[in-house]
A = this chain, B = another copy of it.
């Protein structure tokens, strides 16, 4: 059993109408920059609620942060902050806006010439700006963790980074904000959270039973509430459970002290890179392949997953696993998500390119480093 530290200082304000409470969290004398994305918050009423809540503050807004937030865009916010001395950030959006805001918070007081080095070379920074968030799309968990992914447009790099200074001071989780979410985005969020849990759960056993059961709790809730939420994201009970699940899926709780896989994510990123398939959809494609090829290593946990998450009690271990994999794919399908490469017109040529790139990088993925390029080939071929 590995030792671990667990420390998550983000304050969560959960429920209908909670956007109004941000004024209790942001110091009154702050000069606030509100960051957001493409403008959907101006249509669904969230922007107006934020505006009302910030009444009395000196504040300004910065829109246009992309779905995969770009360094170049974020640096424009950094310049604006430096020029006008904003001292508090409020991210209003999904994972991309919150991720981008984390980079902005880190870069503002960075003293080096090239803030990209914060990400690329883990360059040290101090005095990150404090920030809060209003979550509009449950999926990535960024609202309660200290990590982010940012893309450098000029160099075509998409890289993750993280720092304990980058926990949001607070995050508002109001499930009513998802009411007008396009069903595709709702579905993507559920699958993203689901696979976040799987990456921290479907591994060898190192003795932390509670973390396993917590992970199963999130999976069961996503399975129970996901389809209703997909059909109608204005259903409060479903939306509330999905929102809390997606936060808990990646806030450090279920991953404390346990081995983690993340190979499905790494392979999925390549599919996005080559074909611009939505992140969550790449995960739904790859996951059954990972389970097929790595079945021997993951056997014990796959059986536990079949029994505890899907309540499969009959049959041999192999049969239980088969049923669980099938039910998982059916769950993705019930969310309108297709799970084969052919559904996205991805052929063998792409598989070849991905395997080649992974070979060049000499990647050994997974909780035990066993997902080598030859395994990646088998995983993707199984998903043709």
Contact indicator B240/A208 (Cβ below 8 Å): yes
Contact indicator A14/B9 (Cβ below 8 Å): no
A219-260, CB under 8 A of B: which get 1 and which 0? 011001100000000001100110011001000010011000
A15 at the interface (CB under 8 A from B): yes
A10-41, CB under 8 A of B: which get 1 and which 0? 11111111100000000000000000000000
Q: Which of B1, B7, B9, B10 contacts A240 (CB 8 A)?
A: B1
Contact indicator B213/A217 (Cβ below 8 Å): yes
State the CA gap A240–B257 with chains docked (Å): 11
A216 at the interface (CB under 8 A from B): yes
Q: Which of B7, B12, B241 contacts A6 (CB 8 A)?
A: B12
State the CA gap A139–B365 with chains docked (Å): 39
Contact indicator A1/B236 (Cβ below 8 Å): yes
State the CA gap A316–B209 with chains docked (Å): 30
A347 at the interface (CB under 8 A from B): no
A190-228, CB under 8 A of B: which get 1 and which 0? 000000000000000001111001101110110011000
Which of A2, A6, A220 neighbours the largest number of chain B CB atoms within 10 Å of its CB? A6
Copies of this chain, complex-wide, total 2
- Number of chain A interface residues as a range: 35 or more
A7 nearest CB neighbor, chain B only: B11
Q: Which of B12, B236, B241 contacts A7 (CB 8 A)?
A: B12
Contact indicator B8/A14 (Cβ below 8 Å): no
By a CB distance below 8 angstroms, the chain B residues around A18 are: 3
A5 at the interface (CB under 8 A from B): yes
Q: Which of B2, B7, B224 contacts A15 (CB 8 A)?
A: B2
By a CB distance below 8 angstroms, the chain B residues around A10 are: 7
By a CB distance below 8 angstroms, the chain B residues around A8 are: 8
Q: Which of B15, B208, B245 contacts A244 (CB 8 A)?
A: B208
Contact indicator B241/A225 (Cβ below 8 Å): no
By a CB distance below 8 angstroms, the chain B residues around A217 are: 210, 213-214, 216-217
Q: Which of B1, B2, B14 contacts A4 (CB 8 A)?
A: B14
Q: Which of B3, B14, B209, B220 contacts A17 (CB 8 A)?
A: B3
By a CB distance below 8 angstroms, the chain B residues around A221 are: 209-210, 213
Q: Which residues of chain A (341-382) have a CB below 8 Å from chain B? A: none
Contact indicator A210/B248 (Cβ below 8 Å): yes
By a CB distance below 8 angstroms, the chain B residues around A5 are: 11-14
Q: Which of B16, B209, B214, B256 contacts A214 (CB 8 A)?
A: B214
A5 nearest CB neighbor, chain B only: B13
Q: In angstroms, how far is the closest chain B Cβ from the Cβ of A82?
A: 30
A1 nearest CB neighbor, chain B only: B240
By a CB distance below 8 angstroms, the chain B residues around A213 are: 216-218, 220-221
A257 nearest CB neighbor, chain B only: B14
Q: In angstroms, how far is the closest chain B Cβ from the Cβ of A259?
A: 15
By a beta-carbon cutoff of 8 Å, the part of chain A in contact with chain B is 1-18, 207-210, 213-214, 216-218, 220-221, 224-225, 236-237, 240-241, 244-245, 248, 253, 256-257
Question: What are 15 of the A-B contact pairs (CB < 8 Å)?
Answer: A1-B15, A1-B237, A3-B15, A3-B16, A4-B14, A6-B12, A6-B14, A7-B9, A14-B256, A208-B244, A210-B245, A213-B220, A213-B221, A214-B214, A253-B253
Sorted nearest first, the 9 A-B pairs with minimum C-beta distance are A3-B15, A213-B217, A7-B11, A9-B9, A6-B12, A207-B237, A210-B221, A209-B221, A4-B14
Known A-B contacts: A5-B14, A6-B11. Give 8 more (CB < 8 A).
A1-B15, A1-B236, A3-B13, A4-B14, A6-B14, A7-B11, A210-B241, A210-B244
